[in-house]
Amino acid sequence: MPKVLISDELSPRAVAVFKQRGVETVVNTKLTPDELKKVIGEFDGLAVRSATKVTKPVIEAAKRLKVIGRAGIGVDNIDVAAATQRGIALEAELGPHMLFVRNHDKPGFIGNLGRTLGEVAVNIATFHLGRSAPGRDAICLVQVDQPLGDPLLAKVRGIANVVQAKELRF
């Protein structure tokens, strides 16, 4: 059974969703950075808002971690480069239809993505983009109003500088 740590104050709905999906959920919003480093190795997922700082040392200690979920706007409290390097997925504000894109940080990406989705009448509900530094890889999480489908995912993967694109369904 997957195990998730919720380390910031989240809606009770978040805990309910995890439990409905058979995920063991531990809520501990009082961890210091050192305490987080000591316990994170026990978890497959980490759910945060903005108080928890998911630093490179925390990520290095997270031997089982597969996903970091960020409730709220942005990922400035998460070392995106360290997570990406370890293959840890980043997710924000879960919606029923999400697009995850990892891309090289170059001008024009956001416009190209918007045009690609707009060409097939896919509306963007929320958009989150984070990077560790200019020119490094960025991670984009987009909530859309309907399922994407394989043909559209192929178009997104064909956008210049896209490294990875996949649909996340909740």
Whether residue 118 contacts residue 167, with contact meaning beta carbons closer than 8 Å, is answered with: no
Is 64 in the same domain as 140?
no
Predicted local confidence at residue 12, as pLDDT: 84
Phi, psi angles (nearest 5°) of residue 38: -70, -35
Task: Indicate the length of the chain as a whole number.
Answer: 170
At which of 55, 77, 92 does a domain end? Answer: 92
Look at 2-6, 25-29, 94-98, 147-151 and tell me which has the smallest mean pLDDT: 94-98
pLDDT tens-digit readout, 94-150: 667 888 898 998 899 999 999 999 999 999 988 878 776 677 788 888 888 888 999
Is 88 in the same domain as 106?
no
pLDDT tens-digit readout, 67-90: 998 886 667 789 888 998 888 887
What is the spatial distance between Cα 5 and Cα 68, in angstroms, rounded to a whole number? 10
How far, in Å, are 47, 49, 83, 162 from residue 132 at the CA level? 19, 18, 10, 16
Is 103 in the same domain as 59?
no
Report the sign of the C-alpha dihedral through residues 40, 12, 127, 133, in that order: negative
Global confidence as pTM: 0.57
Domain that holds residue 111: 97-169
Predicted local confidence at residue 69, as pLDDT: 87
What is the spatial distance between Cα 164 and Cα 103, in angstroms, rounded to a whole number? 7
User: If you ran DSSP here, which 8-state letter would residue 88 be given?
Assistant: -
pLDDT tens-digit readout, 8-25: 998 887 888 888 888 899
How far is Cα of residue 106 from the mean position of the Cα atoms in its chain? 20
